[in-house]
Structure 1
Amino acid sequence: MNKYLIFGSGLSACKDLEGLRAVCRSAMSHGILQFDTAPSYKTEEVLSKAVSLCGQELGITREEYFIQTKIDPIQMYNGNVAEYFKGKLSQMNLDYVDSLLIHWPLQKYFMQTWESLQWLKENMYVKQIGICNLRVRHLKELYGKGIIPDILQIERHPLNIFEEERAFCERHNILLQDYSPLCKMHPRISENVEVRNIAKKYNCNVGQVILRWHIDTGAFPVFTSTKPARVEQYSHVEDFSLTQNEIEIISSLNCNHKLYLESLVCPGF
């Protein structure tokens, strides 16, 4: 099993059952058993069904695969998150999810939402709880209040390595998940001569090298593809490890580049 890679069903993923089923089958056939979704992606129910069907085909039980979803701002605003989520489980035909994250931690509704997540965990509707899109200053503030998420999910890639956040997670045993891990194959990554040479050395492509960089820096990359062959290709990142020098070469691409600006979506936190 590839215990690090997470297949994401985000906004650029397949939305129909057969398309998503094809990429999920490719993922699960090659040891990728962790899946990420959210209400705003419009894939929660179809992803759960696709993964269940593929699991039945491949002899993979529910206990062996991992499904993660989120609480979006609209659910935070509406309140009564625990009741909402129990209804969502029914719609996804699940007894539990493996992790539930606060997608955009709006400050006004954060504490009541976090308390709901804690209740859901205590009552075994979820196994782990976490937060997305926080910076280290927020993590420190929450830590001072006794709030330590099981998981932090942030946009992280070689053009924005978020070293302070990574180090904080390592110190406090928080699982770090990196979304947009390839930074949409930005030319600064895909055309970099040193990165291409590393790929040539390991007889792989640049995308595989960057996913391996995430793993070798202690993170779980959340990647998305609509192509089963690409999913299979990325599943082979456990076939090699980068040297410390190669990790440093890739990390040196850091230029604080962001694809998504949290302040536009989540003002005030």
Structure 2
Amino acid sequence: MHKLTTANGHDVPMVGLGTYPLQGEAMASMALDAFKCGYRLIDTADDYRGETGLGLALSRLNNETGFRREDVFIQTKISQDNAYGDEPLEGVWFNKLSKYQNRHTVEEVVMDKVTISLRELQTDYIDSLLIHYPFPGYYEDIWDVMMRLKKEGKVRYIGVSNFHINHLEKLKSIGECPSINQIYVSPLSIKHEDLEYSINNAIQLMTYSPLMDLVHGQLNDNILMPLAEKYRKTKHQVILRWNIDRGCMPLPRTTNPNRLLGNFELFDFKLTEEEIEAISAMNRDLQFLVESKQCPGL
């Protein structure tokens, strides 16, 4: 796996905060509370509309937490956002039917996006920049620009989200293997092949919405409840620890400040190999979240 560090060289804890749909002051307050709880990695994206709120948090970071910018790890994404038009596809990025995209090069679009993100985040560098989806016909060119942004120091890590192994192999063949791949993983969709590939290629696998199956009542309490009782933890914490013990970095989301700390209190217990396997045995290859809605044919 890839070890992620803050700009001052400190290791990032193996759990981050997913922030969709937080915006504005709600986003700023949640991010600052997260830093106080021990989180160091905050995840957002340009199309979440949360970068401005996260920028507010960074502007108040030192006064409210005592931390400096280089003590925390900010991750955002390049998405297919309809930023420059009112009609469907008129102003979206990375679509051959987009009037806006057809007037600009991929480099121009990516540089414009990163400039906006830096401004809204109120920072002069991004710790981690991901391609949100493998946009057909565009993701290789986007990756080429991102590799240059990394060399220029505007981005420290470059990675991807919702990419399959075939996409990762393509990026590896044209230059640099991503440091991060953020995908949906749960006990009902354990993504064993993706995890194995990540381990073999020093890619840190991040998992978004890791508690989705539990929230919707899809998981087997006969497995989770005994483990929760054994370790005096919640079922949420057991699932998050299962992610960590497999080598994944979970990004739980919450809009509840009281749950924020609980989702981070994962480092005083560890599951056994048998317990990890018991949870993994719930797998049904169920893709609860549709990962390809912006990329038909993904």
Q: State the TM bucket, normalised to the shorter chain.
A: over 0.9
| Structure 1: distance between partners of 2:291 and 2:59 | 33
| Contact in 1 for aligned 2:78/2:113 (Cα 8 Å) | no
Alignment partner, residue 134 of structure 2: 105
* Residue deviations 1:36-85 (CA, integer Å, cap 9, x gap): 00111110111221244244311011111000001012343433112331
> How has the CA–CA distance of structure 1 residues 87 and 40 changed in structure 2, closer, same or farther, with 3 Å as cutoff?
closer
* Residue deviations 1:204-233 (CA, integer Å, cap 9, x gap): 100001010111000111111011110011
Q: Comparing both structures, which one devotes a greater share of its residues to helix?
A: 1
Name which of 166, 171, 178 aligns with 2:200.
171
* Residue deviations 1:229-249 (CA, integer Å, cap 9, x gap): 100111111111111111001
- Which ranges in structure 2 are unaligned for 5 or more consecutive residues? 1-10, 81-91, 96-100
* Residue deviations 1:130-155 (CA, integer Å, cap 9, x gap): 11111223323443444411111101
Superposition map of 1:114-263 within 5 A: 114-185=143-214, 186-189=216-219, 191-263=220-292
Aligned partner letter, 2:194: E
| Contact in 2 for aligned 1:21/1:54 (Cα 8 Å) | no
| Structure 1: distance between partners of 2:62 and 2:269 | 27
* Residue deviations 1:156-193 (CA, integer Å, cap 9, x gap): 1111010000011101101111001112523232x521
Aligned partner letter, 2:19: S
Measure how far apart 1:256 and its partner are. 1.1
Aligned partner letter, 1:65: V
Aligned partner letter, 1:59: G
- Stretch deviating more after TM superposition (21-30 or 136-145): 136-145
> How has the CA–CA distance of structure 1 residues 92 and 142 changed in structure 2, closer, same or farther, with 3 Å as cutoff?
closer
Alignment partner, residue 7 of structure 2: none
| Contact in 2 for aligned 1:2/1:238 (Cα 8 Å) | no
Aligned length: 265
> What fraction of aligned residue pairs are identical, expressed as a percent?
34
RMSD: 1.8
* Residue deviations 1:84-104 (CA, integer Å, cap 9, x gap): 312321232110010000001
TM-score (structure 2 length as normaliser) = 0.83
Alignment partner, residue 52 of structure 2: 45
| Structure 1: distance between partners of 2:166 and 2:140 | 17
> How has the CA–CA distance of structure 1 residues 55 and 257 changed in structure 2, closer, same or farther, with 3 Å as cutoff?
farther
| Structure 2: distance between partners of 1:54 and 1:251 | 39
Aligned partner letter, 1:263: S
What secondary structure does 1:237 align onto?
coil
| Contact in 1 for aligned 2:45/2:76 (Cα 8 Å) | yes
Aligned partner letter, 1:138: H
| Structure 2: distance between partners of 1:23 and 1:83 | 28
| Contact in 1 for aligned 2:62/2:68 (Cα 8 Å) | yes
Alignment partner, residue 76 of structure 1: 94
| Contact in 1 for aligned 2:79/2:131 (Cα 8 Å) | yes
| Contact in 1 for aligned 2:19/2:44 (Cα 8 Å) | yes
| Structure 2: distance between partners of 1:145 and 1:111 | 8
Name which of 64, 72, 83 aligns with 1:65.
72
Measure how far apart 1:112 and its partner are. 1.7
| Structure 2: distance between partners of 1:63 and 1:83 | 24
> How has the CA–CA distance of structure 1 residues 135 and 84 changed in structure 2, closer, same or farther, with 3 Å as cutoff?
closer
What secondary structure does 2:14 align onto?
coil
